[in-house]
Amino acid sequence: MANKTFVIGHVNPDTDSIASAMGYAWLLRERDGAEAVAARAGALNPQSAWLLKQLKLDPPALLTDASPRFESVMQRLDSLRPDAQLGLAWTLASKTGGIAPVVDEDGKPYGLINGFSLFKYFTKTLGPQPGETTVREMMSAPCKDAADTNVPKFPASGHIRDFLNRILRDETDEYWVVDENNVYLGIARQREILNPPRLKIILVDHNEPRQAIAALEEAELLEILDHHRLGNPHTHTPIRFTVDIVGSTSTLVSEQTAEAGLSMPPSLAGALLAGLLSDTLILTSPTTTQRDKDAADRLSRWAFVGGSPLKGETIESFGKALLSAGAGLSNRDPNEIVSTDIKQYEAGGFKLAIAQAEVTDLLQLAEHLAPLAQALDELKDKRGLDFAMLLVTDIVRGTSRLIVSSKATPMLNDLPYPPLPDGTRDAQGVVSRKKQLLPVVLGLLER
């Protein structure tokens, strides 16, 4: 855990965030021999879930908070049973730096033997004036008699900061670390708890802390690989920082792979191709560049080979299956639709969020409009935003309708998308939140 580097995309992960994290972690291992693992900052969206199932790939590990956990500071010390002779605890303590954990038959913590508990035990048995009792007799007593049974236990996956107040008040120097079933895993010492190693993190497909996992500032940020506007955090040291104007982060990963003279395994190449096709709406979005088209050719060459789950596919057929896997308003809860692919921003003193949902036909919007508008209002209130927007994009015709939460700022009256009788706005030809909608909205707010 301590030496691993987590490669992770933004919260409310989309397919590019999932795929580029998996691809970049692979490249760092393959090219640099790094101990890199892919992670995700939230639940898979329906499109990514469909994709990983098609490709028989495991989803990246879930990591929603970068704050250090007890597992990063614990030591897996050997332990003794309560009935073992105290002499064995003496031997163990001489190897562990003065402590012997006593664990019962079920693997649960019984008590801790350390200098303090031993001294208490000797005082109790020998009295204030030690008599003729020999060391041999003392050392044949069972461990349970000399163990301190009041040592606090902390869950391995628990965040240290949540227990810090208690630890600072406590007189104990060592603590149990247990699993979710209260089974002994190791011992954490106070000096390590107060200075835990930072989680090593590489951000892909985002650079704004607002869109990153919680407590990013507690992590050691090693690198950023992205294709969005800048809103990057401050760092104490220089980091590798790559932000380029291409349609997807998957494009950047595939370019680096080719530059290193490597080729990806077919399933992984398929995942990156999906990240690229999803972000660029099958290479039609205005964010698409020649480099994206070259990357799509390269990735499909790696992905569509014999023996691959995608054998026989074309960019077009695979792209269409992928987009329709994530599209539609009918089978999903309105609250889920407005919160799955959402990004938060701050501009001109406003806090706002823009969600996007994809459909294959805007006609279906009519019957879902009222619940979606209500869900958008609820989301705005719940997150304490000034307003929220939902861009419903017809991925077949390449156009969108925009829903704005009620009582939004009058500054938005100047949006260049004509209002329609149903209360939505007609965003003709708009398919990209990043390149088309967001600059317009920010332009109005920051006047």
Compose the 338-367 pattern: x for residues touching Mn ion by CB under 5 A, - for all others.
Answer: ------------------------------
Candidates 10-18, 110-118, 164-172, 319-327; binding stretch for Mn ion (CB under 5 A): 10-18
- C-alpha span between 206 and 189 (Å, rounded): 36
- For residue 407, what are its two tokens? 């009582």
Candidates 42-50, 161-169, 274-282, 421-429; binding stretch for Mn ion (CB under 5 A): 274-282
What length does the chain have? 447
- Give me the residue whose beta carbon is nearest to Mn ion: 16
Q: How far is CA 239 from the centre of its chain?
A: 20
Buried b (16+ CB within 10 A) or exposed e, 65-78: bbbbbbbbbbeebe
- For residue 146, what are its two tokens? 């000399």
Q: Closer CB to Mn ion, residue 205 or residue 394?
A: 205
- C-alpha span between 98 and 89 (Å, rounded): 9
- C-alpha span between 104 and 225 (Å, rounded): 49
Q: Which of 71, 174, 208, 279 binds Mn ion (CB under 5 A)?
A: 279
Q: Closer CB to Mn ion, residue 20 or residue 405?
A: 20
Q: Closer CB to Mn ion, residue 117 or residue 288?
A: 288
- Cβ at position 164, least distance to Mn ion in Å: 36
Look at phi and psi of residue 149 and say left if phi exceeds 0, alpha if psi is from -120 to 50, else beta.
Answer: alpha
Q: Which helix (H) or strand (E) holds 77?
A: none
Q: Is 208 in the site for Mn ion (CB under 5 A)?
A: no
Q: With contacts defined by CB under 5 A, how many residues of the chain interact with Mn ion?
A: 5
Please give the sequence-ordered ranges of beta strands (E in DSSP) within 227-311, or none if there are none.
240-243
Q: Which of 7, 13, 16, 112 binds Mn ion (CB under 5 A)?
A: 16
Q: Is 292 in the site for Mn ion (CB under 5 A)?
A: no
Q: Is 313 in the site for Mn ion (CB under 5 A)?
A: no
Q: Is 386 in the site for Mn ion (CB under 5 A)?
A: no
Q: Closer CB to Mn ion, residue 208 or residue 279?
A: 279
Taking the alpha carbons at both ends of the chain, their separation in whole angstroms is: 47
Candidates 90-98, 236-244, 248-256, 392-400; binding stretch for Mn ion (CB under 5 A): 248-256
Residues binding Mn ion (CB under 5 A): 16, 205, 248-249, 279
